Structure formats: structure tokens, C-alpha cells
Amino acid sequence: MVAVFRLAPPEAIEILDQTLLPFEEQVIRIADVAALCEAIGALRIRGAPLLGLAGAAGLALAASQNGPTDKDLSHAARVITATRPTAVDLGLRAGDALELALALPVDERAGALWAYAARLHGDRIREDAAISAFGADLLVERGSVLTHCNTGELATGGAGTALGVIVAAWKRGRVERCYVTETRPLLQGARLTAWEALRAGVPATLLPDTAAGSLLASGAVQAVITGADRIARNGDTANKIGTYQLAALARRHAVPFYVAAPLSTIDPNCPEGHHIPIEMRDGREVGGFGDHRWSPAGIEAYNPAFDVTPAELITAIVTEQGVIQPPFTAGIRRAQSERGEQ
């Protein structure tokens, strides 16, 4: 597979256009902030951890292409962050990059920002490997797992979060099969996760989102594992729309529900889930896909990109530092303290 994300300083970044998968692997070269924002909004690049890398790289682009002044960089950070409000990593990394740059002389900023983005990418690869290992340790009973949306390399630039766990557990002989929801309305599971699982050699089965309850009731699944776009201090977790219902169904059928995400996904400024901003997307994404429509013209659509799963439905949160168990407020505070955060 071509690189999902690659820095090409001082002029550009290169991304794999995820809207064309699984049928075409096309790399897009992005040379300015406007093009990056279009790619983020159109989901050509997506996944909370990968968006964090994009946010940092976007500031490097701004410094190289538009000028490294305080005004230019501050504007770039604002517009990048606004493209997708739910995923905390995007604004976090853009903000961190801005803070780094503003502390430096103007002529040193572009180089420092490219170096920062490269360091983040290296950290992402190492942290994904740790998340995968810690998560695989949880899956002690050999069996099948269910996942939702896309959480592999396409979402992170490393091994992935939830899918990284699944692949690592499969290599240890602890996963027999990965069940993948289609993930309506944009089919990230059907187009992306199924593709990644097959390429990794993991036996995979695709199912409609609406079949998850039946599957869980059948006893065929030993665990559900998903990623996260933002986690509140109490453990409430925002993830792709449909995650909440999976967690509720898993609880009903006594199936463990795990969240795998880097510690950067935990928002220290967000006390509870109802404070998480939920991105509402264009209603045209519902009732069709691309140019193919199956709904009548004029029908209104409700299209939130994410929902929030209450902490009480989550069995554990897997991070690069280890597994956080309930009660999550204390566990999250301890993990952030150990990481040097307040």
C-alpha cells in the first residue's frame, strides 16, 4: 500500500485519498492550507490521530507557503481546527504547533514546524504499537471481535488503534474473525476497514449496522472494540455515529466493550460527554452514496457524524500507557499525570 501520510518539506504533504478506496489508491499532493482543509472536510484524510498529524503539518505548510508571521499562523490554526470540531487531536496538534512556533524567531519557525510534524508521526507509530500490544493482552479468550468505523493505518498513520489491537491479537492466535460494520452513511467499515483487514490477512465478515444486535445476541462475538475521536475526563467517549448503540447492545448481551485511543484523545478541558461538540454533516450523505441516490428528492436528513457513549457502558480504555479501568475519572487523571499533563 502507498503511504497514507507523508511529509514532503518544505513544500507539501502527501496523503492517500480515502474517498477513492477500496478501488483506487491515489496520492494527493497538498501544498497549502486551503487544500488541506478541503481534504479534511471531504474525508480524503480522516481518523482522529491522523487528523492530529494533519493539523501539525498544516501549520508547517502555512509557515512555508503563506509566511510564518503570528497573524498567518494563528489564522491557519483557526481554520484547520474548524474543519472538524469533534476530533480533539486536530485542534490539539494545530494549537501545539502554533504555540511552538510563536515562541521562536520568525526565520526559525518553518523548519521547527516540519520537525515537529515529523516527530509526531514517529510518536504515532510507536504509540500505536503500544496500544495494539496492550489491547491484545485484554483479548484472552480466543474468539471473534466486532468493530465499527475505521481505526487502522488509514485512521492513524501507524498500526491503528482498535484495528491495530485486532491485528495484533489475531497474530497471537486470540482472534478467529473480525466482524466489520458497514458504518453508514459513508461506509468507512465496508470501504476501509474490510479492505485493511483483508490486506492484513485477518478473516473478516462484513455486516449491516442494523445486524449488530442480532450478531451480539447470537453469542458469536467475544468483544467489541472501537476507536475514539474525543474522550471526556469522566470517560464518556465520542466516536463514529452508531457506536453508542453498539455499546448498549454489548452491555445487554454481557459482551465487553473496549475503546482504543491515544491519551491525546482525552480532552482535559471536557468534563463530560454532553460538552463534546458533535459535527453535523451534509444531509445529502444520507439516502445515497456519491452520485447514486435511493431517497426521494426533498426529504430532510438527520446526519450527525458522531455520538457519545456513556462511560458506564465502556469496559476499559486502551492507551499507549496501558489499560484504564473504571472508575475512569481517577484512571484518566492518573494516566495524564504520569504523562506529565495536568
Write out the catalytic residue numbers. Answer: 229
| Per-position DSSP letters for 167-220, written without gaps between them | HHHHHTT-EEEEEEE--TTTTHIIIIIHHHHHHHT--EEEE-GGGHHHHHHHT-
Which helix (H) or strand (E) segment is 324 a member of?
Answer: strand 322-324
CA atoms within 13 A on the CB side of 284: 4
Amino acid at 2: V
What is the C-alpha separation between 101 and 41, in angstroms, rounded? 25
Q: Which residues contact 330 (CB under 8 A, 6 or more apart)?
A: none
Q: What is the DSSP string of 24-85?
A: ---EEEE-SHHHHHHHHHTTSS-SHHHHHHHHHHHHHHIIIII---HHHHHHHHHHHHHT-S
